């Protein structure tokens, strides 16, 4: 039991980049040859989202997206955001590693959706399993995001984000 608790408390949120010439997204820390699109942030949170990890989830996402005060001590991530880079306009949250979410964790995602919307950041969720999506829906996620912001794969979400970024068409009310 202690092993499970310790492993879920030491989660590293992974920023993903596009492998050139493919449609695959890989952790940026594993290769410097991955492409990043200005204004687009793709993050993978590979752990259950429950009452014990919700604070870490919030701090990590706030840090990557520049929301809120963040924490004084930088969370474990794969690299700091580039201060000179274009501000994040779209974030794709890869939920494939979120195998479980309880009510507290789901409320944290709903609050993240609200904070992103208030900051003018378009939140897209990708690869949520049915159980997690059900918990998020019960927590009121669909009051904050539209079904068009939910995607089967990171590739689909990123393609949608890239198309909208190129068009300059991210109306947060639609």
Q: Residue 147 sits in a domain of what CATH number?
A: 3.30.750.24
- 174, part of any domain: no
- 106, part of any domain: yes
R_g of the chain, CA atoms, integer Å: 15
The average confidence (pLDDT) of the chain is 85
Q: What's the structural domain count of the chain?
A: 1
Cβ count within 10 A of residue 42: 24
CA neighbor of 16 nearest in space, from 163, 167, 157, 164: 157
**Block residue for tokens 């309880």:** 102
- 172, part of any domain: no
Q: What is the pLDDT of residues 32-56, one digit of tens each?
A: 788 888 999 999 999 999 999 999 9
| Three-class secondary structure of residue 56 per DSSP | helix
Print the domain residue range for 96: 2-167
Greatest alpha-carbon pair distance for the chain in Å reads 49
Name the token pair of 103: 């009510």
31 has pLDDT over 90 = no
- 83, part of any domain: yes
Helices (runs of H) and strands (runs of E) counted in the chain: 5, 7
- 113, part of any domain: yes
């Amino acid at each position: 039991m202690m092993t499970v608790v310790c492993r879920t408390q030491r989660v590293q949120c992974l920023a993903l980049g596009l492998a050139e010439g493919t449609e695959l997204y890989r952790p940026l820390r594993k290769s410097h040859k991955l492409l990043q699109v200005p204004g687009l942030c793709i993050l993978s949170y590979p752990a259950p989202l429950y009452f014990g990890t919700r604070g870490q989830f919030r701090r990590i996402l706030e840090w990557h997206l520049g929301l809120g005060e963040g924490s004084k001590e930088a969370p474990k991530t794969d690299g700091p955001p580039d201060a000179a880079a274009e501000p994040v306009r779209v974030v794709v949250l890869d939920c494939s590693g979120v195998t479980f979410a309880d009510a507290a964790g789901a409320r944290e995602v709903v609050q993240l959706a609200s904070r992103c919307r208030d900051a003018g950041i378009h939140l897209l969720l990708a690869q949520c399993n049915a159980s997690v999506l059900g918990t998020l829906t019960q927590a009121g996620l669909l009051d904050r995001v539209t079904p068009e912001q939910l995607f089967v794969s990171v590739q689909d979400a990123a393609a949608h984000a890239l198309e909208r970024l190129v068009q300059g068409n991210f109306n947060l009310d639609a």
